[in-house]
Chains A and B, each alone.
Chain A
Amino acid sequence: MGSTVTLATVVASTIATILIGAYGLRVARTTSDFFVASRSVRPMWNASAISGEYLSAASFLGVAGLVMKFGVDMLWYPVGFAAGYLILLLLVAAPLRRFGAYTIPDFAEGRLDSLAVRRLATGFVMLIGWWYMLPQLKGAGVTLRAILGVPYWVGVVGVGALITANVFFGGMKGITFVQAFQYWLKVTAISLPAVVLLMHYQADHSPRLTLPVPPIFQADTSVRVRVGARFEVDASTPVRVTGTLDGHRYGTGGPAPVTLETGGHTVAKGAVLTFPAGAEAPHPVGQPNADGRSWSRPFNPASDERSHPLFFIYSLMLATFLGTMGLPHILVRFYTNPDGRAARQTTLIVLVLLGAFYVFPAVYGALGRLYAPDLYLTKGTDTVVLALPGRVFPGLGGELLSGLVAAGAFAAFLSTCSGLLISVAGALAQDVFRGQVADFRRAAIVAGTVAVAFGLLIERFDINLLVGWAFAIAASSFCPLLVLGIWWRGLTAAGAGAGIAAGGGLASAAILFTMIAHPGPGWTEALLAQPAAWSVPTAFLTMVVVSRLTARRLPTEVGAKMVAMHTPETLGLGRNYRD
């Protein structure tokens, strides 16, 4: 890693992104182009763009890292990320497109005739958008640190600035092309090295991953410690050391042989430890590495580290299944479909594209256990996708593959961040500033700056944990608004507002409390760490009850709106409620 080849591929993919964006810029002319790409995008392009925007650092890096750490249970993340589109297809895709609003706040206002609900929705668009940008920027920080050795903040600030500039100049027409390109780049970047790695694994006589032994080093392995760490070894291990270990400086004249006794050790930043082949991989204090047998099984001790893992998984399922439809950067893409039928076709293709991608992260997670077990020690499992090709194939081939996955990872946070930034900036421009192109650009700078500022603060949180929280907030606020708004005539502005505030507010509060106060193990922790299981029902219930209580203040023209949302365009009964 850290090679010029890797750097060159990252730079090349970034330049390609900017060039394609610039090409789109020549096509983008009117204000309406900037906001939703003229609604003239074909389903295949649109589906590629949606998938490109959706496959974030959480999918590209996070899933593999979690699988390596906790095993098969973590595959519920990608399953939920994909299944969210099935629910979106069943309940939302076509009617929402036919309603003709650009964004969730537009839908809220058009459907409920309420400026207050619109403002509340705008607030949540910004909250969810920013929240979802944080793990992307964290991904940027750790990726650049892993491939170039630069400090965390360089990646966060650099990628933040790049995305802000791209949105500032490109608008959304550019972004549709960029995003579609990003999907194909990402799927290539994850699948090609995975196939090569699997071929190597077969040639290596397919060592069993499910035997009851802890992860061991397959070959002599040198570990450079980038961040000082405390770790434990479970059996005394002979190593060679350069740098500071347990307070002693070793190896001023060359690597010094030291035997690590069973128990805890401290290693300082910059030290290099070389483990012999066959040694057991060390692990962070208090987080023993699961043996292969239990790692490969559902609900193993490693993933049981959380209190009540079964509850956690169900709550996560609810958050991801229902949260997808509430992600602001995803919904806005559905308006670029020409009609409701195209919106359905697009969703169907998205499911195919996501399925094709999500088969691969598990490969890296499983093989990482075998070929990169030092990542447990350095708490670097989030970078296993980046590290693995270089570990397995030393030399130019490995460097090229490393470059490819690095370019894919870059594509992951570039695309997702751009989409989110457009949504947040769009919400800011329309509802806080005035809604001209110039204001959209000003809003992009404001939104990008805020995201970077918070991105610098969240380094210690797992990428997927942060993403899971963004889904939980979306599922607790916008999912009930969309589902009830589309299928139930009885929804009132007061009901919708109360439901969004109750569900989204409680979910956000629970997550903030978890981030700041770290409640101890038990039901309190389980309920607060993934609140969707109770916050989503709360939001639905509040909407229904308050709507019933205020049933005399139904929005105007509910019947006409239902006709517009549910009848096919061929009847010509649609009406655009954006006006």
Chain B
Amino acid sequence: MSARSRRRRRAGAPRRTPLSPASPGLAPSRAGDAAAPDPPIDPALAARRVAVRNPRGRAARREPGERALTELAEQTEVGEVLLRSLTRAQLMLAVRIFAVFGCLLLGLPALFATHPGLADIRILGLPLPWVILGGAVYPLLVLLALLYVRQAERNERDFVEFIERS
């Protein structure tokens, strides 16, 4: 699949490339207008393809980070490898968290069905299935979500640092 998509990418490249790193002033920053309504777009500008850049980030980063960023922006082979390293890390993280979740939760119905004796175990006077499904599940979900958010943000920070260093 990767070979094929790479071929397509090269074939399609001329249509896409007018990313213009030489004229950053033309590029309205998208990250910046999160809080404000979209500014009116000059039709003459809209007709052209412009690179979408965060000017503040560019100014702060200077030369070294520029190369990796351009590789990413233009989806060169290097850029694609960089991006894959990030998506793979995030996907593997999601799979790991899901595996923990799955081991703990997906087995439960079958366990209850095959081991009816579990319903006789009592915790604080309540039968075990009620304790698990009526309460204990929710802190577990929050804990897994917390672990995921922390690690996913760490992955992204590492990625940004790597890009800015290279």
Residues of A within 8 A of B (CB): 30, 32-33, 38-40, 72, 75-76, 79, 82-83, 85-87, 89-91, 94, 100, 210, 296-299, 310, 313-314, 317, 338-339, 341, 344-345, 347-348, 351-352, 354-356, 358-359, 362, 487, 489-490, 551, 554, 556-560, 562-563, 566-576
Chain A contacts of B106 at CB under 8 A? 317
> How far, in whole Å, are A314 and B113 apart by their CA atoms in the complex?
12
Chain B interfacial positions (CB closer than 8 Å to A) = 1, 4-5, 8-9, 12, 15-16, 29-31, 34-35, 37-38, 52-55, 57-58, 69, 72-73, 75, 79-80, 83, 86-87, 90-91, 94, 97-98, 101, 105-106, 109-110, 112-113, 116, 119, 127, 129-130, 133-135, 137-139, 141-142, 144-146, 148-149, 152-153, 156, 159-160, 163
The smallest beta-carbon distance between B94 and chain A, in angstroms, is 4
Inter-chain contact B83/A86, CB cutoff 8 Å: no
Q: List 12 A-B contacts (CB under 8 A).
A: A32-B37, A40-B35, A75-B133, A89-B149, A345-B149, A347-B145, A351-B138, A362-B134, A556-B16, A563-B79, A570-B160, A573-B69
| A359 to B141 Cα, complex, angstroms | 13
Check A569–B31 contact: CB distance below 8 A: yes
Complex CA gap A143/B30 in Å reads 47
Give complex CA distance A566, B160 in Å: 12
Chain A residues with CB below 8 A from B8, complex form: 554
Determine if B15 and A83 form an interchain contact, defined as CB atoms under 8 angstroms apart: no
Instruction: Report whether A72 and B133 are in contact in the complex, using a CB–CB cutoff of 8 Å.
Output: yes
Contacts of B4 in A (CB 8 A): 551
Could you tell me if B75 and A568 are in contact, using CB atoms closer than 8 angstroms?
no
* Tally of A-B Cβ pairs under 8 angstroms: 177
Query: Are A559's CB and B75's CB within 8 A?
Result: yes
B16 A351 Cβ-Cβ under 8 A: no
Contacts of A568 in B (CB 8 A): 156, 159-160
Choose among B79, B94, B127, B135 the residue that contacts A359 (Cβ–Cβ < 8 A).
Answer: B135
Chain A residues, Cβ within 8 Å of B83? 559, 562-563, 566-567
A297 to B126, CA, bound (A): 11
B98 near A87: Cβ-Cβ < 8 Å: yes
Q: Does the CB pair B34–A570 fall under 8 Å? A: no
CA distance A75 to B79 in the complex (A): 47
Residue with the highest number of chain A CB atoms closer than 10 Å, among B16, B133, B135: B133
B112 contacts A298, C-beta separation under 8 Å:
yes
A310 to chain B: which residues have CB within 8 Å? Answer: 109-110, 113
Do the beta carbons of A338 and B149 come within 8 Å of each other? Answer: no
The answer for the CA separation of A348 and B16 in the assembled complex, in Å, is: 37
Task: Return the contact of B109 from the options A314, A338, A345, A362 (Cβ within 8 A).
Answer: A314
| CB-CB nearest in chain A for B90 | A566
With most chain B CB atoms within 10 A of its CB, the pick from A85, A354, A570 is A570
Distance between Cα atoms of A575 and B16 in the complex (Å): 14
A354 touches B35 (CB 8 A): no
Contact residues in B for A79 (Cβ distance below 8 Å):
105, 133, 137
Asked if A362 contacts B130 (CB within 8 A), the reply is yes
- A573-B73 contact in complex given A210-B127, A297-B116, C-beta closer than 8 Å: yes
Given A72-B129, A90-B98: A567 and B12 within 8 A (CB)?
Answer: no
Given the interface pairs A39-B34, A82-B137, A572-B53, the reply to whether A557 lies near B16 with Cβ below 8 Å is yes
- Complex CA–CA separation, A362 to B134 (angstroms): 7
Q: How far is the CA of A297 from the CA of B113 in the complex (A)?
A: 10
Is there contact, CB below 8 Å, between A86 and B101? yes
Instruction: Provide the residues of chain A in CB contact with B57, threshold 8 Å.
Output: 570-572
Contacts of A572 in B (CB 8 A): 29-31, 52-55, 57-58
* Residue among A40, A86, A91, A558 making CB contact with B145, cutoff 8 Å: A86
Are B113 and A574 in contact, with the CB atoms below 8 A?
Answer: no
**Inter-chain contact B31/A299, CB cutoff 8 Å:** no
Question: Is the beta-carbon distance between B145 and A339 smaller than 8 angstroms?
Answer: no
A338 touches B90 (CB 8 A): no
Beta-carbon contact of B141 and A571 below 8 Å: no
Which residue of A is nearest B12, CB measured? A556
The CA of A272 and the CA of B55, in the complex, are separated in Å by 76
The listed residue (B15, B54, B73, B90) touching A563 by CB distance below 8 A is: B73
**B30: A residues at CB distance < 8 A:** 100, 572, 574-576
B129: chain A residues within 8 A (beta carbon) = 72, 297-298
Asked whether A354 lies within 8 Å of B69 as measured between CB atoms, the reply is no
The verdict on A89 contacting B160 (CB below 8 Å), with A310-B113, A572-B57 known, is no
Q: Do the beta carbons of A567 and B86 come within 8 Å of each other? A: yes
The chain A residue sitting closest to B94, CB to CB, is A90
A351 to B149, CA, bound (A): 12
Kindly report which residue of chain A lies nearest to residue B101, judged by CB atoms: A86
User: Is the CB–CB distance between B163 and A571 below 8 Å?
Assistant: yes
Evaluate whether A351 and B141 lie within 8 angstroms (CB atoms) in the complex, with A72-B133, A75-B134, A90-B97 already known: yes
Say how far A121's CB is from chain B's closest CB, in angstroms. Answer: 23
Which residues of B are found within 8 Å of A317, using beta-carbon distances? 106, 109
The answer for the CA separation of A299 and B117 in the assembled complex, in Å, is 12
Q: Are A338 and B34 within 8 A (Cβ)? A: yes
Residues of A contacting B94 with CB < 8 Å? 90-91
Instruction: Report, nearest first, the 7 A-B pairs whose CB atoms are least far apart.
Output: A572-B54, A355-B138, A559-B75, A75-B133, A298-B112, A90-B94, A297-B119
With a cutoff of 8 Å between Cβ atoms, the chain A residues found around residue B149 in the complex are: 89, 344-345, 348
Least CB distance, B92 to chain A, in whole angstroms: 11
Task: Determine which of B29, B130, B141 lies in contact with A355 in the assembled complex, contact meaning CB atoms within 8 Å.
Answer: B141
Asked if B127 contacts A487 (CB within 8 A), the reply is no
| Complex-state Cα separation, A38 to B34, whole angstroms | 8
Residue of B nearest to A570 (CB): B160
Q: How far is the CA of A513 from the CA of B147 in the complex (A)?
A: 43
Which A residues are CB-close (under 8 A) to B35?
38-40, 338
Contact, CB under 8 Å: A313 / B137: no
Contacts of B38 in A (CB 8 A): 32
Chain B residues with CB under 8 A of A86: 97, 101, 141, 144-145, 148
Given known pairs A79-B133, A348-B145, the reply for A575 and B52 (CB within 8 Å) is yes
Residues of B within 8 A of A89 (CB): 145, 148-149
Contact yes or no, B119 A298, CB < 8 A: yes
A73 shortest CB reach to chain B, Å:
8
Chain B residues closer than 8 Å to A33, beta-carbon distance: 37
How distant is B39 from chain A, measured CB to nearest CB, in Å? 12
Q: Which residues of A contact B90 (CB under 8 A)?
A: 566
Cβ 8 A contact of A339, one of B31, B137, B138: B31
Alpha-carbon distance between A557 and B9 when the two chains are bound, in angstroms: 8
Q: B97's closest neighbor in chain A, by CB?
A: A90
| Contacting residues, chain A, for B109 (C-beta < 8 A) | 76, 298, 310, 313-314, 317
Complex formed: what's the CA distance from A297 to B133 in Å?
12
